[in-house]
């Protein structure tokens, strides 16, 4: 394997900017991304049983993507962990763990070690908090997850932060990761802020990266997906 397509998307529980919930439309957007590895945020409903929004069988049929298994909280029918759903195609998943992030909001990350085309890779799928103080702490917690480990790592998700570099709440991540230049992803009808990010550490590099900006994507969620081609 020399190239890998990765993507991240906050799918807003399948609820679009046209005020319709349409999981089948979400599946069509996902299929259009052509991702080998995909991190979804808000893939589960927030309340009651927290049931997953997508038809995973239909998604697998359309894309070949299968979810990385995570333990669902007791009494729920969630697909992911705090709404984070990580999907892969043709990957050997070696280890999966969850990380509860600090803050008053229920936030977390899914961390998966896998082998894709004989290449070891760590994926961190995350949805960070709305409050800046929480994001600063959460970014430090995530950066600590890769400290002292030379496994190639991708961090994908909705990080709820538009600033870049030293002024950003994500400064600990900028210190340890390279940033794939992707662009503005929120709000989807008129994108102004780069809230969604793809970070890369160690061996891989982003050959190209872009916002998946189509009329269908602008209607499917309040965030646009990001897609990057990663080269080893």
The mean pLDDT values, 10 residues at a time, for the chain of 232 residues are 87 94 96 97 79 91 94 68 92 92 90 89 95 93 82 93 86 85 91 94 79 97 95 82
The CA distance from 178 to 199, in Å, is 6
Asked if 129 and 135 count as a contact pair (C-beta separation under 8 A), the reply is yes
Residue 198, domain extent: 3-231
Based on the structure, what is the number of domains in the chain?
1
Helical H runs in 108-231? 132-146, 171-176, 215-220
The CA distance from 24 to 124, in Å, is 26
**pTM of the model as a whole:** 0.93
Asked if 182 and 171 count as a contact pair (C-beta separation under 8 A), the reply is no
The CA distance from 189 to 213, in Å, is 10
């Amino acid at each position: 394997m020399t190239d890998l397509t990765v993507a991240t998307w906050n799918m807003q529980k399948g609820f679009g900017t046209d005020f319709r919930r349409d999981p089948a439309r979400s599946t069509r957007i996902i299929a259009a991304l052509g991702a080998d590895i995909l991190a979804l945020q808000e893939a589960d409903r927030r309340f009651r049983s927290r049931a997953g929004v997508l038809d995973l069988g239909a998604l697998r049929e359309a894309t070949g993507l299968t979810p990385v298994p995570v333990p669902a909280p007791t009494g729920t029918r969630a697909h992911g962990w705090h709404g984070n759903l990580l999907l892969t195609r043709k990957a050997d998943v070696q280890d999966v763990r969850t990380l509860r992030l600090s803050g008053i909001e229920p936030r977390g990350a899914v961390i998966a070690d896998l082998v894709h085309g004989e290449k070891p890779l760590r994926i961190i799928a995350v949805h960070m908090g709305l409050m800046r103080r929480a994001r600063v702490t959460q970014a430090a917690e995530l950066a600590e997850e890769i400290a002292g480990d030379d496994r190639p790592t991708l961090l994908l998700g909705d990080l709820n932060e538009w600033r870049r570099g030293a002024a950003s709440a994500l400064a600990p991540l900028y210190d340890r990761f390279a940033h794939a230049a992707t662009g503005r992803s929120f709000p989807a009808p008129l994108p102004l802020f780069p809230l969604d990010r793809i970070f890369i550490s160690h061996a891989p590099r982003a050959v190209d990266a872009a916002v998946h900006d189509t009329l269908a994507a602008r209607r499917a969620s309040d965030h646009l997906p990001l897609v990057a081609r990663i080269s080893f």
